[in-house]
Structure 1
Amino acid sequence: MGPDVRPIAESEFPNWLRALNTGFLRPPSVTEKEVAVRLPHIDPARTQGAFDGGRCVATFRSFAQELTVVGGATVPADAISNVTVSPTHRRRGLLSRMMAADLAAAKERGDVVATLIAAEYPIYGRYGFGSAACTTEWEIDVPRAGLDPRWSGPSAQDGGRIDLVSGADVRKLGPALHDRLRTRQHGTVSRDTRWWELTTGENRPDPDAWTEPFYAVYSNADGEPDGLIIYRADDHWGDAKQPLNRATVFDLIADTPAAERALWHFVCSIDWISTVRTGHRAPDDLLPHLLPDPRAARIVTQADWLWVRLLDVPRALEARTYAAPGALTLDIHDPTSLTTGRYHLNATPAGTTCTPTRTTADLALDARELATLYLGDESPTRLAALGRIEELTPGAVARAETMFRAARRAWCPDVF
């Protein structure tokens, strides 16, 4: 008999947390404060553990989420997090058992997709997940950027202003700003009240480790908040008594180009700051070209980020918009059989339909490749060249290229 895989009871949460910390190579000790703060925010029915001799040796948790797709609609998502297997129990199929149970429950609930942030690339493709949105992080050499050192705020023509605010202000203003971002940026995911509390230091499980960041809000000429930045700064000075401090941006939301420009110029104009790390941005972010010298922003991270797995192909494909009208019949192979089948997609100016069919397929692909295409961030032509899509009807790949691609890259600013 192998380890027992099942949802945890509330009394088992400390044991589960120890396994979670072990899997993430953190100190395995768990405090009563941590248990008391975290337990109310997890659903034991969606929190799985593998137990061997009374000890938790693997962890898995999911929660409700919304994902914005191409065109601005949202679909219900099964967000997967806290996935670990202790080093004593690797390669025994524990993750496969937990994943199968979670995805089956999510499909039964009516979730359209599942989402996760993959710590390692090779793991999740075998479960039908595909890399659907990438992340890029820049480091800005502030002195080289060419910004006017006399900059003290948005221009007179803009009429806006920037104010430093408190964490309590962010908890009030942030959710509405983020919801406005979600209506136009595919790849973003919903943030609940708990997200804003943790980001602003409210009721954290590790208060002693918390360092308060700086918060600044951009307001337009009418006094309405159009942007928000959250950042921290270190304290580093050179041998010649020159300030060499770095600002690290943890979140920047801008509802308008004016707000985006003003907030980046603001953080790059702070006295003593010589370097700015941007945090997770879209690969086609405007940032480098908001600087007089775009070469002052060098890429330090560029990698896959948000992974998606379709659970309901018709609902998923009908929810998003397409760059051009067209029709395709897709033959989907799913390693878990959750979405295996043939589907006819028909995108017209009047709307989109996707229905199961037995007609001849135009393209054959795995569920993970369909997930990779879903947010418009990957090219069907590239996947075909890599042998990951099979063209069964001449011209079908080119048709998919014109239909699926989006004008801007997908972006998920969050880790979960």
Structure 2
Amino acid sequence: MAHPADPSAPAALTRSRPFLAFWAGQGISQLGVQLGQIALPVLAVQLLGAGELELGMLNAAAMAAFLVIGLPAGAWVDRWLKRRTMIAADLVRMAAMLAVPALWAAGVLELWHLYAVAAVLGVATVFFDVAYQSYIPLLVAPALVPAANGRLEATAQVARLGGPALGGAFLTVLSAPLLFLAEGLGYLASALFLTRVTDSETPHSRAPGSRLAAEIREGAAFVVRHPLIRRVALSTAGFNLFSSLVFVLVPLVVLRELDLGPLGLGLILSVGSVGGIVAALAVPRLAALAGEGPLIPLGALMGAAATVLLPVSLGVRGVGALVLLCAAEALMAFGVVVYNVMQVSMRQRVCPTGLLGRMNASIRFFVWGVMPLGSLAGGWLGENLGIGPALWIGVAGQALASLPVVLGPFFALRTLPDTVDDAASLR
């Protein structure tokens, strides 16, 4: 079996034309996404006058689909061809993004339009993400799954390195709605490259008389019963709940409280992504040194500890605040990427192919479904208690969220299991 430290894995991926086409499309798409994403809070705060609660509602609208349709989406994706699902989702997301500059050019753009666009984008993203996480094991051999995830994550982090800073620079000379064009073109690029990917997937055969509810329960039951995935789901849900509480307030910290401007916001996000790039490249060596299992709780602890720097930055001004925020983003990104590469790879390896969509959808329903609640809570707490106290609540919540994986068996697992049977002894 090849693990993340296997030196042959990168070379094998380089020889895989389907993976290279998929990888190229996602790399271009990620850059477009990063250019567009910095435009959203700037547009909402600086052009449309959004405050804490309005930003919370905007983030909640973007994430609500994971809570509303997350579970049935998994069952549907398991019935459909995943590559076609991703292409359709990309085209819907492209149309949603292009609506923003069109409304702006017509002089009718309002905040509620952003809520609607975010909601449509969220629905399409549910289907894309569930299919995406279920597709990697169908695109590469099981032994190459961790290396493939690491390469895709490294590429996403490189996009986060250049995209936000470039977007912030563009915003000094362009109006924010124009950057939504870049995100729309990124989704188009993803769809076009996906048309060039070849795979051997066939539609999942349904048992006669099978029902959607029964298929959903099967996927959820796998998550609940698996001793490692259950702990990962609990911790990740906690992280996402409190990180969404925190990050809905970050644009207000940067743009309003510290007055660092769009360029400062872009710089913070870009410099912070350096930690993610280093983590994605370092995972193979870290797994060889510390073992695969320990990286999950260690990554969780690092990500949680780094959030302390966010409220601390409110007591500093100028360059000092900028340095603290960049450090916070970099350390959080390092911890989160290490955690995600290992836990996602483990989930993909142990789950039967016919359950991948439903397993991933059940995870997403649970761990992303809490994010609208966190966003609304962050907006409400920021408006009623102040941004500082709200951030400290998020810090405390992140620390508590790490407990399920820290107290689990991960530190004792030099190698994470490859099959359901491998995990049986961990119950």
Q: The TM-score by the shorter chain falls in which range?
A: under 0.3
Determine which structure has greater relative contact order: mean sequence separation of CA pairs < 8 Å that are 6+ residues apart, divided by chain length.
2
Question: If each structure's helix is expressed as a fraction of its own residues, which one has the higher value?
Answer: 2
Q: Tell me the TM-score normalized by structure 2.
A: 0.21
Query: Is the radius of gyration larger for structure 1 or structure 2?
Result: 1
Q: Tell me the TM-score normalized by structure 1.
A: 0.22
